[in-house]
Structure 1
Amino acid sequence: MPNTAVDMAARLSVAPMMDWTDRHCRFFHRLMSRRTLLYTEMVTSPALVRGKALHLLRYHADEHPVALQLGGSDPDELAKAARLGAEAGYDEINLNVGCPSDRVQSGTFGAVLMREPALVAECCAAMGEAVDVPVTVKCRIGVDDQEPQDVLPDFLEKVSASGVSRFTVHARKAWLKGLSPKENRDVPPLDYPLVYEMKRNFAHLHLSVNGGVNTLDEALEQLANGLDGVMIGRAGYHQPWDILGAADTRIYGADNPLNDPDEAAEKMMPYIEEHLSDGGKLGQISRHMLGLFAGQPGARIWRRVLSEGAHKAGAGVPLVKEALDAVREARKGAFEAEG
């Protein structure tokens, strides 16, 4: 039932992750997959509208399809922030109704909004009126002592009435008190069957699942269970080649843009050169590349060379080349040992 290019891209997406999915990370990920939908880190509507922090909207033209995730709970302010995002060229505006951090709760947005579906609907309606791109929601199945079987269908019904047709559901509750944000990603049990039930009951909606999906095999299993999309988080960041390097073929039936992770490292070099010439630091980019060779010979030395050298004065493309050469030597040694 996808009816727009971004809906089709949402068959697989990389989750918005604070401090991780910045523009450098997204550019790197896009090299490996041309189809996967990428998300920004959450940007708060007050930062954009009151703080005029428009630098937070910067991205590279090659990142498309790319979605802006907003945090907030004031309909007028969210509408203004959404308009800024659409004017910047984002393909989708997403509202965060899933983050459980104390800082987010104190701003009355994120997962705490699961308690206020009418307000979420009002926010989404205002955003939808302000932009021509899709407005979507990322939510939990409930919070604290809420009963997800009751809360989630009510939430989907009320918010979809505002015009939202695509939801990403993190299939865990969020405990707003007593668990840290990190614990909230692992401790509450996953309830995939509830998400499948929501897809059966709301067949007209595009529903993606998030939480606990660590491989493309697992993503394909979720799609086979009738869901429209899968959002992968930490695995996509820590094992980018395993997830994104094969995604275009396995998820979309298209050709993969690169043949191996070495190509990804090589294609990052011009981008790194440009960033350094603009006054940037290698570590701002290379930190996102540490998992490129995860599970392969040379992975450890790749991480070590980049981690130890990226923050030294003058660090640049030669260091990346040194790390890549070390990987190739380790790979050659492993091959000869096997032979």
Structure 2
Amino acid sequence: MMDWTDNHYRTLARLISKHAWLYTEMVVAETIVHQKDNLDKFLAFPAEQHPIVLQIGGSNLDNLAKATELANAYSYDEINLNCGCPSGKVAGHGCFGARLMFDPEFVGDAMSAIAANCNVPVSVKCRIGVDDRDSYEELCEFVDKVVSKSPTRHFIIHARKALLNGLSPAENRKVPPLKYEYYFALLRDFPDVQFTLNGGITTIDQVNASIRQGAHRVMVGRAAYNNPWNMLGHVDSEVYGMPTRNSSRRQILESYQVYGDSIMGQYGPSRPNVRQLVKPLLNLFHSEPGNGLWKRKADSTLRHCKTLQSFLEETLEAIPDSVLDAPIGKDPCSEEAHFADMDSLLPPRYTSLTNSSHESSVLVTAST
């Protein structure tokens, strides 16, 4: 979610949901290391955003260690290494992102270095495979090696493989088939590890269906950006069993406007512009009456307005009060996720016989 889950979006997300865990956009380790005098630009966040996870990318052990040490001062709740991004800008330069899955030994060393330089849990986000290395056994070997070499006990599993040649990043989110059975087999074969399910989950009903099926946690990416009100608005009540934080989109916009105009006055010449602050709002009225007119007004208003307050005053007349003041309701796009009989789909059981020092392991596969 580079260029998407920035501070502005995360502020909006936290206004909608108090309890959802938020992830930063991926920050390259070298960026952190070489920007020591301007770290706040890349790492600072309001305290209200907790719980929050920093996702870093990189393939140099020294830089990953240094970046983690610098980031540790910002009190993130977890540090995550990206081993799943299929973008050519990532996978093809410096050999990180999804390409790291080709080298589980290195990822284990990297996670050990990251963990040694922070005082919070560490995790890995990965695919179920890359190119032709996409068997369940190879996925298990990746997890087993990382676990045996580091304190990593949390993996976020995007249940598609990545194809590094021939597909764009957008196509890599849609074309390779979802194999949820790989995820659920990991739950069976690594009972001491936490796994988060990612990929293809677009509604809160699908989140709950995944959890009922046994998923430890569920990560939602673009659906939470493309439809934040209907996706995040249900999280606190339906997942955590807690009251929702704000009762209407009008209330959320009032709070977000205070945030936006305050930081514009705080940072001087380097302050964010109105367009950057408006970007996370553009999907707040997804599929609602007035949404199309509001976006057209937004496009013209952004050419001249200087504050978030003036932008909202000029554009929100396009949205009916009945929409602005409506409480969160049933997502009209909701549908139950369909999980087939997983017992019949799970790949053969994978077992790992690891010695007590966790320095080496013997891998054994056996059919159930």
- The answer, yes or no, to whether TM exceeds 0.5 is yes
AA at the equivalent of 2:274: L
Q: Are the equivalent residues in 2 in contact too, given 1:265–1:324 (CA < 8 A)?
A: no
- The structural deviation recorded for 1:307 is 2.9
Structure 2 portions without partners, runs of 5+: 325-368
AA at the equivalent of 1:140: R
Q: Are the equivalent residues in 1 in contact too, given 2:86–2:172 (CA < 8 A)?
A: yes
Alignment of 1:274-293 (within 5 A): 274-278=262-266, 279-293=271-285
Q: Deviations over 1:287-337 (max 9, x none)?
A: 1111111122222223222233124252431221332332125859xxxxx
Corresponding residue to 1:26 among 10, 15, 26: 10
The answer to whether the aligner puts 1:320 opposite 2:312 as a matched pair is: yes
AA at the equivalent of 1:305: K
TM-score, L = length of structure 1: 0.89
AA at the equivalent of 2:239: I
Decide which moves more: 312-321 or 110-119: 312-321
Decide which moves more: 291-300 or 231-240: 291-300
Decide which moves more: 176-185 or 308-317: 308-317
In structure 2, the residue matched to 1:110 is 97
The answer to whether the aligner puts 1:96 opposite 2:82 as a matched pair is: yes
Corresponding residue to 2:26 among 30, 42, 52: 42
CA distance in 2, matches of 1:93, 1:218: 26
Q: Are the equivalent residues in 1 in contact too, given 2:278–2:308 (CA < 8 A)?
A: no
AA at the equivalent of 1:261: R
AA at the equivalent of 1:244: L
Change (3 A) 1:119 1:113: same
Percent of aligned pairs with the same amino acid? 40
Corresponding residue to 1:149 among 136, 139, 143: 136
In structure 1, the residue matched to 2:51 is 65
Q: Are the equivalent residues in 2 in contact too, given 1:86–1:131 (CA < 8 A)?
A: yes
In structure 2, the residue matched to 1:255 is 243
CA distance in 2, matches of 1:284, 1:330: 27
AA at the equivalent of 2:283: G
The answer to whether the aligner puts 1:76 opposite 2:67 as a matched pair is: no
Decide which moves more: 132-141 or 305-314: 305-314
Change (3 A) 1:311 1:20: farther
CA distance in 1, matches of 2:180, 2:144: 19
In structure 2, the residue matched to 1:5 is none
Corresponding residue to 1:132 among 85, 95, 119: 119
TM-score, L = length of structure 2: 0.83
In structure 2, the residue matched to 1:267 is 255
Q: Which SS does the other structure have where 1:269 is aligned?
A: helix
CA distance in 2, matches of 1:331, 1:170: 34
Q: Are the equivalent residues in 1 in contact too, given 2:211–2:217 (CA < 8 A)?
A: yes
CA distance in 2, matches of 1:128, 1:303: 44
- The structural deviation recorded for 1:228 is 0.7
Stretches (4+) displaced over 4 A: 329-332
CA distance in 2, matches of 1:276, 1:76: 36
In structure 2, the residue matched to 1:337 is none
Q: Which SS does the other structure have where 1:88 is aligned?
A: coil
Q: Deviations over 1:242-288 (max 9, x none)?
A: 01111101111111101122221121110121122234311111111
CA distance in 1, matches of 2:305, 2:285: 25
CA distance in 2, matches of 1:19, 1:230: 22
The answer to whether the aligner puts 1:246 opposite 2:230 as a matched pair is: no
**Aligned-pair Cα RMSD in Å:** 1.5
The answer to whether the aligner puts 1:202 opposite 2:190 as a matched pair is: yes
CA distance in 1, matches of 2:322, 2:236: 28
Q: Which SS does the other structure have where 1:288 is aligned?
A: helix
The answer to whether the aligner puts 1:119 opposite 2:106 as a matched pair is: yes
CA distance in 2, matches of 1:182, 1:228: 26
The answer to whether the aligner puts 1:303 opposite 2:295 as a matched pair is: yes
Q: Are the equivalent residues in 2 in contact too, given 1:297–1:330 (CA < 8 A)?
A: no
- The structural deviation recorded for 1:51 is 4.2
Q: Are the equivalent residues in 2 in contact too, given 1:167–1:208 (CA < 8 A)?
A: yes
CA distance in 1, matches of 2:322, 2:244: 25
Q: Are the equivalent residues in 1 in contact too, given 2:277–2:308 (CA < 8 A)?
A: no
Number of residue pairs matched?
316
